[in-house]
Amino acid sequence: MKDVIFEIIAVEDSIEHDRLELTEKLQQMKETNQTKYEEREHQLQQDLSDKLKNFEAEQNKALSERAALSEKRLEEVSAHLLERFETNKQPVVSTLLKEVESIYGHF
């Protein structure tokens, strides 16, 4: 009977030892997983931040290009309008002078 009691105690001790080992392994796994999770989260945040910076840079570049194109187009249109005005100025002035002369006489 003593042998059975000692064997039961030995089995209980073995079970307790195994339980403690498994609890420790589980805790290590939790810590490892938490560390990996935090590292992955940090990496994803960094990737997202990099993508956002690249997107902003591309948007700023596109905006600058559009602004330059707009400015160039404005200059072209202004030059064209000035050219048309200069071309039409003399006939308009002549016509206006003729109208004034016809109304008020010769200057």
Q: How far is CA 38 from the centre of its chain?
A: 23
Please write the tens of the pLDDT for every residue from 12-69: 999 999 999 999 999 999 999 999 999 999 999 999 999 999 999 999 999 999 999 9
- Is 65 domain-assigned? yes
What is the per-residue pLDDT for 86? 75
The range of the structural domain enclosing residue 55 comes to 1-75
What is the per-residue pLDDT for 78? 87
Q: Which residue has the higher pLDDT, 41 or 6?
A: 41
SS (H, E, C) 35-102: HHHHHHHHHHHHHHHHHHHHHHHHHHHHHHHHHHHHHHHHHHHHHHHHHHHHHHHHHHHHHHHHHHHH
How open is the CA angle 83-84-88, to the nearest 5 degrees? 120
DSSP state of 25: H
CA atoms of 79 and 71, how far apart (whole Å): 12
Q: Which residue has the higher pLDDT, 94 or 15?
A: 15
- Is 82 domain-assigned? no
What is the per-residue pLDDT for 98? 80
- Is 43 domain-assigned? yes
- Is 36 domain-assigned? yes
Name the maximum alpha-carbon separation found in the chain. Answer: 147
User: pTM higher than 0.75, yes or no?
Assistant: no
